[in-house]
Structure 1
Amino acid sequence: MVETHLIAIKTICLNYGIDNSFVEELNEFGLIHIEFIQNDKFIHQDQISDLEKMIRLRNELNLNLEGIDVVFNLLQKEKELKEELTILKNRLKLYE
């Protein structure tokens, strides 16, 4: 029984015209998480937008997996810094 929030990698690869090996390499790099259910591979629907970005980085900018990893690490760091800035701004408002 497959949960509705999981999407088969076969379906994703057909829709985006990519190889299964690319998705598996992304999993090995820790950029996405593959779930195994009854010998089939799935990813969570929340990861689709990140996967689309990774596909575009590879196809349009010709980035290899290491480059994609660097870009996503920088994006994660940017997100963390924005969250920290918001927290600090809210603290500062308490003293105004």
Structure 2
Amino acid sequence: MLQGFDLATILLGIVIFLARVTDVSMGTMRTISIVQGRTRIAFLLGFVEVSMWLVIISTVIHSISEKPILGVFYALGFSTGNVVGIILEKRIAFGHII
């Protein structure tokens, strides 16, 4: 089997991808909250977002030399999280004040 492509690594990569999608999407919502002056929501989203990021990045940095594919999952999660954040914001209209 190719180095870094065992089942455990792929599953960890999927977890990293999903967690990164979640935290980047939260970042989109947090940014909108900041612009709108919603300090409590921005505080909560920021706390959760950075807490998730710390766990994710420490996992990737700890393992990337043996499993470089985790860096790909991390980058894909970031890119996808931007798109998901935009779609999510459009669906719930969080950025629109009525």
Place the TM-score, normalised by the shorter chain, in its bin.
Answer: 0.3 to 0.5
Q: Which has the higher strand share?
A: 1
Point out which structure has higher relative CO (alpha carbons under 8 A, 6+ apart): 2
With the length of structure 1 as denominator, give the TM-score of the two structures: 0.35
With the length of structure 2 as denominator, give the TM-score of the two structures: 0.34
Larger radius of gyration: 1
Q: Which has the higher helix share?
A: 2
